[in-house]
Structure 1
Amino acid sequence: MPELGEFERIARFFSPLVEGQSDALGLTDDAALVTPPPGKRMAVTADALIAGVHFLADDPADQVARKALRVNISDLAAMGAEPYGYTITLALPRGMADAEAWIERFARGQAADHAEYNIRLLGGDSVSTPGPLSISVTAFGWVPSTLALTRGGAKPGDDIYVSGSIGDSFLGLAVLQGEGFDLTEAERAMLADRYLLPQPRPRLGQLLLDVASAGLDVSDGLVQDLGHICEVSGFGAKVELSLIPFSGLGQRLVQCGAVLAEDLVSGGDDYELLFTAPESARDTVFGLAGQAGVPLTRIGKMHPGRGVDLLDATGKIMALDRRGYTHA
């Protein structure tokens, strides 16, 4: 059976994803036409994922699609933006075996997250490449015209919070690469799922718009990403290692010496919200987290200094060999 061309692929696999919406124009034009809601401005973010770097080459196509969407939704969540739509570019390796079956499963993953996160496909491109499979997503969301959560508003005395748990994605990648950790099959599957399918927090981000002073999502490691808030805000942060929320499995693996706690805070790919808020808003912050149904932990405080200090149980600053993932 002959391989489908670009337009045949769009018609078969992607056009069904835009049925019933007018802005994508059936994916038959050069661009989408989007009208902003009254009183809103657009938040725009983009992320590229490359096989062998951001996902494993044999990861299921539907999960790759969902990860590509979710890392962008997580960026929107960090700004307090309501997800709206996205464009996507697929660069498929030349001569890729079973390309159509892979794309069909990829589109099923997109459809699943359209429903879960109320986001829509607006357009994109499909090309071939002599290199590895690559995916680029540009996502769009809405924030109130007078509000947005940025990295630059943290002040000394602000509390530092992180949602969910930290480090499971790092452990999940290790599991997918063959590390057993003396865990059950169900436990390994749970960790792998945290790596394959991030859980962005758009609802919490939107609720925090009036309360949080600064924020971002944890993509490259908690310590390194908190450093971006410190750099843009112009202040320092002190974080207590004992307060950082590890899952039960993460705690167990640290306690038995299978991994170091420092590895979990610098591993990245957590896609949790990391933000600051005034101490006076503490009750409000936890109330909003409860409203969003998201676990939340206060892990430290901002101070007048510079950079991020990670403190051990005695209050001593820890020396870290690695603070997070570095993009070359």
Structure 2
Amino acid sequence: MIDKFSEFEIIRRHFVPLSSGARGAENLKDDVSILDISPNSVPVVSVDTMVGGIHFFLDDPPAHLAKKLLRVNLSDLISSGAKPVGYFLSISLPEGVGNQWITDFADGLKSEQDLQKILLYGGDTTSTPGPISLSITAFGEVPSKLIVRRSSARLGDFVYVTGTIGAASVGLYLIKKLGMKVAMENASFAVSRYREPPLLLDVAKLLRGRANAAIDISDGLLADAGHICSASEVAMEIDFNSLPLSPEMHLMLENQPKLKNIIPSGGDDYEILFCASEENGQNITEDCKTIGIEVSKIGRVIPGQCEVKIVDGDGKRMLFETMGWEHF
């Protein structure tokens, strides 16, 4: 059992307040919710699950987990051009997880959902003999003719990415190697980026009608670019030297060149990779800059058999130990 509180007491104390104002959620007193979508828009839905010991460390602060859980899920909606509206939460807690952990987790959700202007619409709360399991089904809306899919990249499109690449995966590598405290002392940006993905909410509307294809980078640049290639039946060539790296990452590469293997394949960036014509890409880049988000042109869509080639400054293909994160 989870402390002395019942499932319904946990819901009443911690999760009902997160649904306040959610039309159709009925204060979480029903097993279903009614979703209200704007006229001429379609719902867009995404599911992601985080399991303790696999996707996060068991001693991670619960408020940080809540923030990461929401941002990880909403990045899928954002890459489709959808405005996030709300989410459903499924949470499985093992014996020994106390009320303070749940309180801190719910507070983290509240802080993040206020920032993202979304609400909780329902979910499920259970106990488990295994590690903590957290799953969110997020939903949003987008005008039906403006949704961005993975399957519409065009030959000649340029490839762009928001923010920086590789820091999160290097941060995770250092945490596992050195421990959290030492890793933070040596690479604070990388560790922080692993624990807290970027907030890219306003990017969604900037992609509509201008990006031909897009995806969030969760499994790694190589893997997720490959997903666009497979869906669109094209290939990509990406210039490693054009990848946007943080100043900290540039310095680390000088001292540890082997980190190059992690940057394009490690995952956890949760930046947006998109394909667009040069004109549209430039317009998206300029508009993103006005909201404080940098965009870099890193490659081009080319003919080929659904593959991603990363080349060095001399145009020579680079080879990497792994293509990206895989669950199985």
> After TM superposition, is the score higher than 0.5?
yes
User: Offset at 1:185?
Assistant: 5.0
Match of 1:204 in 2: 203
Match of 2:80 in 1: 79
Partners in 1 of 2:269 and 2:91 — Cα distance? 24
Match runs of 1:209-228 below 5 Å: 209-228=208-227
More off after superposition, 15-24 vs 171-180: 171-180
Match of 1:96 in 2: 96
Match of 1:29 in 2: 30
Match of 1:280 in 2: 279
Identify if the C-alpha distance between structure 1 residues 138 and 56 changes in structure 2 by more than 3 Å, giving closer, same or farther: same
Contact kept in structure 2, 1:76 and 1:202, CA below 8 Å: no
RMSD of equivalent CA atoms: 1.9
- Alignment length (residue pairs): 326
TM-score, reference length from structure 2: 0.94
Match runs of 1:32-181 below 5 Å: 32-93=33-94, 95-97=95-97, 99-179=98-178
Identify if the C-alpha distance between structure 1 residues 184 and 110 changes in structure 2 by more than 3 Å, giving closer, same or farther: closer
Partners in 2 of 1:186 and 1:134 — Cα distance? 29
TM-score, reference length from structure 1: 0.94
Query: Residue type of the partner of 2:30?
Result: D
Query: Residue type of the partner of 2:274?
Result: F
Identify if the C-alpha distance between structure 1 residues 2 and 260 changes in structure 2 by more than 3 Å, giving closer, same or farther: closer
User: Offset at 1:151?
Assistant: 0.4
Partners in 2 of 1:216 and 1:132 — Cα distance? 29
Match of 1:311 in 2: 311
Gaps of 5+ in 2: none
Partners in 2 of 1:247 and 1:284 — Cα distance? 23
Partners in 2 of 1:201 and 1:2 — Cα distance? 37
Partners in 1 of 2:184 and 2:203 — Cα distance? 32
User: Offset at 1:280?
Assistant: 3.3
The SS at the match of 2:308 is strand
Percent sequence identity over matched residues? 37
Identify if the C-alpha distance between structure 1 residues 47 and 3 changes in structure 2 by more than 3 Å, giving closer, same or farther: same
User: Offset at 1:248?
Assistant: 0.7
Gaps of 5+ in 1: none
Contact kept in structure 2, 1:253 and 1:259, CA below 8 Å: no
1:141-162 deviation digits (Å, cap 9, x = unpaired): 0100212111011111100001
User: Offset at 1:325?
Assistant: 0.5
User: Offset at 1:237?
Assistant: 0.3
Query: Residue type of the partner of 2:201?
Result: P
Identify if the C-alpha distance between structure 1 residues 118 and 227 changes in structure 2 by more than 3 Å, giving closer, same or farther: same
Query: Residue type of the partner of 1:34?
Result: L
Partners in 2 of 1:239 and 1:20 — Cα distance? 45
Partners in 2 of 1:293 and 1:210 — Cα distance? 21
Partners in 2 of 1:321 and 1:281 — Cα distance? 34
Contact kept in structure 2, 1:71 and 1:200, CA below 8 Å: no
Identify if the C-alpha distance between structure 1 residues 2 and 233 changes in structure 2 by more than 3 Å, giving closer, same or farther: closer
Contact kept in structure 2, 1:85 and 1:140, CA below 8 Å: yes
Query: Residue type of the partner of 2:110?
Result: A
Identify if the C-alpha distance between structure 1 residues 23 and 303 changes in structure 2 by more than 3 Å, giving closer, same or farther: same
User: Offset at 1:3?
Assistant: 1.2
More off after superposition, 201-210 vs 168-177: 168-177
Query: Residue type of the partner of 2:34?
Result: L
Contact kept in structure 1, 2:74 and 2:138, CA below 8 Å: yes
Contact kept in structure 2, 1:48 and 1:134, CA below 8 Å: yes
User: Offset at 1:291?
Assistant: 3.2
